[in-house]
Amino acid sequence: MATAVLKAIGPIALGGRELPLWVTSVIVLLAPALLAALVFTQAFADGKDLSVGAETVGVVAGGLVAWRSGSIVACVVVAAVLTAALRAL
């Protein structure tokens, strides 16, 4: 599948050589940019519409938990539980 190819191209193309400094500098910032984009589009949008709902609150709460406790498991569980609780109201 396309996924396997994409994961393979990077190491093949550049293996063995040292990356120039600016490339590393950009790559180091790629994860924050992409992860944030993923998170915010999922939490604040549904398909093509921008929307705020129970899921948004759950995700934000999960984020706070992750921030304070550093536990990704707690983050995920809190997000799910809170979202479910808000929907049940």
Partner 1 sequence: MRTESARRAFRQGLREGAPFAVAGFVLAVSFGVIAREAGLSALATIVMSLIMFAGAAQFTAIAIIGGGGTVGAAIGASALMNSRFLPMGAALGPSLPGGALKRAAQGQAVVDASWALAGRGDGTFDRWLLFGASAAQYLTWQLGTIAGALGGDLLGDPAELGLDAIYPAFFLGLLLAEARTLRAAGVALLGAGIALALVPFAPAGVPILVASLAALVGLTRSAQTAVAEAQAREQEREREHLLERERQERERAAR
Give the footprint of partner 1 on residues 50-89 (CB under 8 A): 50, 54-55, 58-59, 62-63, 66-67, 70-73, 75-85, 87-88
Distance in Å, CB of 51 to partner 1, minimum:
10
Distance in Å, CB of 27 to partner 1, minimum:
4
Residues 31-50 that bind partner 1 (CB under 8 A): 31-45, 47-50
Give residue for tokens 């500098």.
Answer: 25
State yes or no: residue 18 binds partner 1 (CB under 8 A).
yes
Beta strands in the chain (DSSP E): 45-46, 49-50
The CA distances from residue 80 to 14, 56, 70, 71, 88, in Å, are: 40, 11, 17, 15, 12
